[in-house]
Amino acid sequence: MAEVDGQVSEQAGAIRVRALAAIEGAEAMEDLQRVEREFTAKNGPVGALLASIKTAPPLERRGIGQAVNELKGAITCALEQRREALAADRLAAERRADDFDPTLPAASLDVGSLHPLTHVVRRLEEIFTQMGYAVLDGPEVELEFYNFDSLNIPGDHPAREHFDTFWCRSEAPEAASARLLMRTHTSPVQMRALERMELPFRAIVPGRCFRNETTDASHEHTFHQMEGLVVGEGITVGHMMGAMKTFLRELFQKDLEVRLRPGYFPFVEPGFELDVRCPFCADRKTRGCSVCKRSTWIELCPSGMVHPVVLRHGGVDPERYTGFAFGLGLSRLVMLRFGIDDIRHLLGCDLRFLSQF
């Protein structure tokens, strides 16, 4: 056994001497790579030594394994040192060259940027959390109950036609009583919030919505909304107007008028269309611009006082509590904010568009 051990260590020592000499003698990276391949290849000298384990008596195998590992370690270490030395030589040579110019700008790296939607959502979250709102989330694949029935839109309600719904197919027998769909608005999270939050509360829900619509410059099957919901004792339309003015002042950095027009949505009573004075031409003498189509007003969001039926569905006593809700069209707001003229850019993944933000 001792004899074989001695033989192995002799072989390992010889390989080591040859390898270290070859590594030391490598004058360029390419040479070094060649030496590395030569010595570390499976059929190279180290590989052959390792292969001898198979035919060695069991008691000697351990010794062979150890010798091979030490040899590999020594070779790897020498390769690393030589690689560093060659890299340093190369850099030094480049610096000595006549055309070396340390003042040249470095090659620019392609770095990503935030999506315009992310910019706006982050800003809105900042503004509303400062006003005491919680930021909530809800499922995009939603139960029919939350998306419609609980919001006072039963199966035969004509308002359902307003939502071109993507229904999810399900083979499950319970499907009829719990049909799934892609949520058509962020309003179902109103009901989830009523069920879950302690009263009083204020919340916003930014999120994706889906409608089975023909797409064009202002319609997309996937778009973003931000729901707002405030419930407490004595909440009035005045609170809603105040909240909207505050958030608009923060977003556009100026005081903007808001106005209400009557609007109909089954889950609010009364319901409104809330308009804002066009932030893009409000200061100018000549009132009206292309953004507000010369009217000086921009439709901002539908809103209203939460319908008593909705509060009751959420387990809240409408005799004691009231609330307001609004459904901000986030995609539209982003388009307004950045002057984007086609909603399809938002989810289009075109880097020429995205890299502008």
268 touches ligand DAH (CB under 6 A): yes
Q: How distant, in Å, are the alpha carbons of 50, 212, 350 from that of 71?
A: 11, 67, 53
Stretch touching ligand DAH by CB under 6 A, among 99-107, 114-122, 299-307, 334-342: 299-307
Rank residues 187 and 331 by Cβ distance to ligand DAH and give the closer one: 187
Beta-bridge partner residues of 274: 260, 301
Residue least distant from ligand DAH (Cβ): 327
Residues contacting 220, CB < 8 A, separation 6+: 213, 331, 343, 344, 346, 347
Number of residues this chain uses to bind ligand DAH (CB under 6 A): 12
d(CA 67, CA 10): 10
Residue selected from 128, 148, 247, 265 as contacting ligand DAH according to rule CB under 6 A: 265
Report the 10 Å Cβ neighbour count for 303.
25
Residues contacting 190, CB < 8 A, separation 6+: 151, 205, 227, 229, 267, 306, 310, 314, 325
327 touches ligand DAH (CB under 6 A): yes
Rank residues 5 and 273 by Cβ distance to ligand DAH and give the closer one: 273
185 touches ligand DAH (CB under 6 A): yes
Which residues within the stretch 51-70 sit at the binding site for ligand DAH (CB under 6 A)?
Answer: none
Nearest distance, CB of residue 330 and ligand DAH, angstroms: 11
Q: Are 274 and 301 in contact (CB under 8 A)?
A: yes
Rank residues 144 and 227 by Cβ distance to ligand DAH and give the closer one: 227
227 touches ligand DAH (CB under 6 A): yes
What amino acid occupies position 65?
A: G
Rank residues 83 and 245 by Cβ distance to ligand DAH and give the closer one: 245
Nearest distance, CB of residue 184 and ligand DAH, angstroms: 7
Residue of 9, 4, 34 whose CA lies nearest to 19:
34
303 touches ligand DAH (CB under 6 A): yes
Nearest distance, CB of residue 355 and ligand DAH, angstroms: 31
Query: Which H helix or E strand runs over 51?
Result: helix 45-51
Residue selected from 152, 165, 187, 331 as contacting ligand DAH according to rule CB under 6 A: 187
276 touches ligand DAH (CB under 6 A): no
Which 3 state secondary structure label does DSSP give 132? coil
188 touches ligand DAH (CB under 6 A): no
Distance of CA 289 to the CA centre of its chain: 34
Nearest distance, CB of residue 229 and ligand DAH, angstroms: 7
Residue of 195, 249, 202, 200 whose CA lies nearest to 227:
202
What are the residues binding ligand DAH (CB under 6 A)? 185, 187, 227, 265, 268, 271, 302-304, 325-327
